[in-house]
Structure 1
Amino acid sequence: MVVEVYPNIYMQEIPLPKNPLRAINSYIILSEDRNLIIDSGFNTEECRNAFMEGINELGIDLNKTDLLVTHLHSDHSGLAAALNKEGAKIYAGKIDGKMINEMAGQAYWDKFEGYKKLFDLEKDNVSFDNHPGYKYCPKEPIEFISLDEGDSINIGHYSFEVVNIPGHTPGHIGLYEKNHKLFFCGDHILHKITPNIAFWGFEQDILSVYFNSLKKVHEYDIKHLFSAHRSTVADHKERIHELLNHHDARLNEIMEIIKDDKKSVRDTAANMHWELKYDTWEDFPNPQKWFASGEAMSHLEHLYSIGKADRTEENGILYYKLK
């Protein structure tokens, strides 16, 4: 079922079976000329069927419809290749668009085998076989139209400006409509749940990048903020403060964990508090161990970057200890 959330703007909740996120909010903006869909769901038959139900309910012509992918995660980009084949133009940020195409090849995923060793996850015997990023991403390259800060997309009487909001992924983008004070933010800001901030390489302190993106959006004049999961956000400034406080508490928690003894990424994650239904780390499914370790790593690297933690490597495993 699709719901009109603003004139000529509809939200469709696409189920994400057997996933803690439960569903993704896909947004459809209609005009007489061309339509724009924001984010798509997994590359699965269930998501495609749900996606097409909304398309059919609104009577949309896919030949007059384009897709904008806010970021590379497969619940947002999964159906991009299929829609591309249908003739839709596919928009994405220049960084994440490139990475989505890399994800279609095995070499992208092979590097995570190195992360498994680095994070000390070999002791859990984890694999990528059932990771949603691996299973449900597009399986072939896509002809993206690359977007960058300040680019514009005009749909009907709406004029959207592209905003770079990296952090949740290296090239996450959003759409801001200044005249109506609308912001489509993907996973940058979520209501009730916190976006996962994972590790994307040693080239940058991705947690600091995320903080800067939050502070950037804080200054925007936004009346309606449309996020990709759960409900819309009523007060974006209040929610940004809550997210910053959450990560501050996370950093304090991790500093306590690594205060007396060095810890691997995996052992740090295993000692952190998670809002999940599992009683022990051993109960975590493999994908959740990856997500938790990635989040622990981004926070550990931030502490290392700001000079509050030491980092050592022993036998290919990283260890962190509070200075």
Structure 2
Amino acid sequence: MAEQLAPGLWRLNIPLEGNPLKNLNSFLITGERNLLIDTGFNQPACKRAMDDQLREIGADLNRTDIFLTHLHSDHTGLSTYLHRPGCAVFLSGTDAIRREEYSHEEIWRKKYASYVENGFTWEEMNWLWDSNPAKMEGPEPLDGGFDRLDDGAVLEYGGRKLRCILTPGHTPGHLCLYDACNGVLFSSDHVLFHITPNICRWEGVPDALGDYLESLDKVKDLPVKMLLPAHREETGDLRQRAEELKAHHAHRLDNAERIVAESPGLTAYEITGRMQWSIRARNWTEFPLTQKFFAVGEAMAHLDWLEVRGKVTHRLENGKIRYYSIDNHKGVD
């Protein structure tokens, strides 16, 4: 059921079946033209919920533009399904390129090969090939492509001026939307409350975690009366939560650095298995494979942060990338 948060502003609850995130908050701003913010997976449950709630509000898709905060499938999956001729589908230029690349299987083969180098087996990757929602539940190709936005672009809907704030980290082109006049920040996956946003390694990005931490500082002092994250209903104080997230990653960095120092020569997969995670599994072996995929991606982002700052290094040994602290690595070559 749709929830009206303010005049002309609605939250649509889109269930993410079989996913630990549980739901997506899709937001609708109504007016002469509507703006729908994020869509859910390209799966039947998301379609039903989206259709029912748009019908409940009386939203006309023929005058509804779509704003995608970032490229992930739980945010973009229904964009092509919901798009109507003459309407825009907005996405940052950076994420638009990557989202379009993800429709090509060779991109996924390269990504999975890199995860094998970092400790997975091909058997695990082959199982994920047809079960990873990031790959399987994204949008169909969009005729004409996305309408690309840059940092600072301003959109006007329902009497609101919405400024795009580029917040790389969760994805390289993640965008928040800020309504300064009303003190509303659509933080999407940049700032969440019930969990910490997943920050993983991205191809061609030297330090995704460093980007994310800088992006937290970019938004934490904004005057915000209403903070609207993308998952669950939990919300709160922006500055306080930004500091909590920074402290969380500082702890995780210490954890990863200690593991590398104590056990030199581990793969990212093995390091991840020794790190501390908040998940309902008794041990690393019992982690669901999809969650292992995201956890290893996050561990690699933390290892990248450490490597950029000269604290660890890696080397390719017999087809696997293994990590060493700088002190332990001295003299190895």
Fold agreement, TM-score > 0.5: yes
* Structure 2 contact 36–67 (Cα < 8 Å) conserved: yes
Quick one: distance in 2 between partners of 1:260 and 1:280? Answer: 20
* Structure 1 contact 260–321 (Cα < 8 Å) conserved: no
Stretches of 4+ aligned residues off by more than 6 angstroms: none
Quick one: distance in 1 between partners of 2:55 and 2:86? Answer: 17
* Structure 1 contact 105–139 (Cα < 8 Å) conserved: no
Structure 1 segments unaligned to the other structure (5+ residues): none
Quick one: distance in 1 between partners of 2:194 and 2:289? Answer: 24
Secondary structure, in 3 states, of the residue corresponding to 1:258? helix
Quick one: distance in 1 between partners of 2:193 and 2:230? Answer: 9
Give 1:202 deviation, angstroms: 4.8
Change in Cα spacing, 1:22 to 1:203, as seen in structure 2 (3 Å) is: closer
Quick one: distance in 2 between partners of 1:128 and 1:222? Answer: 41
Change in Cα spacing, 1:202 to 1:87, as seen in structure 2 (3 Å) is: closer
* Structure 1 contact 130–286 (Cα < 8 Å) conserved: no
Secondary structure, in 3 states, of the residue corresponding to 1:174? strand
Quick one: distance in 2 between partners of 1:86 and 1:54? Answer: 21
Query: So what's the TM-score if we normalise by structure 2?
Result: 0.93
2:121 counterpart of 1:118: no
The amino acid of 1:259's aligned partner reads: A
Quick one: distance in 2 between partners of 1:202 and 1:100? Answer: 15
Give the aligned CA root-mean-square deviation in angstroms: 1.4
Give 1:315 deviation, angstroms: 1.9
The amino acid of 2:130's aligned partner reads: D
Quick one: distance in 2 between partners of 1:160 and 1:296? Answer: 34
The amino acid of 2:28's aligned partner reads: I
1:226 aligned residue (210, 228, 234): 228
Matches within 5 A, 1:136-215: 136-142=137-143, 143-215=145-217
Quick one: distance in 1 between partners of 2:262 and 2:22? Answer: 38
Give 1:6 deviation, angstroms: 2.1
* Structure 1 contact 62–87 (Cα < 8 Å) conserved: no
> Aligned pair count?
322
1:248 corresponding residue in structure 2? 250
2:48 corresponding residue in structure 1? 49
1:293 corresponding residue in structure 2? 296
* Structure 1 contact 168–196 (Cα < 8 Å) conserved: yes
Percent identical pairs in the alignment equals 35
2:285 corresponding residue in structure 1? 282
Change in Cα spacing, 1:102 to 1:115, as seen in structure 2 (3 Å) is: same
Moved more, 226-235 or 236-245: 226-235
2:21 counterpart of 1:21: yes
Q: Deviations over 1:106-137 (max 9, x none)?
A: 12211122212221101763333211101101
Change in Cα spacing, 1:85 to 1:102, as seen in structure 2 (3 Å) is: farther
Moved more, 254-263 or 124-133: 124-133
Change in Cα spacing, 1:245 to 1:124, as seen in structure 2 (3 Å) is: farther
2:219 counterpart of 1:217: yes
Change in Cα spacing, 1:16 to 1:286, as seen in structure 2 (3 Å) is: same
* Structure 1 contact 96–170 (Cα < 8 Å) conserved: yes
The amino acid of 2:273's aligned partner reads: A
Matches within 5 A, 1:47-86: 47-85=46-84
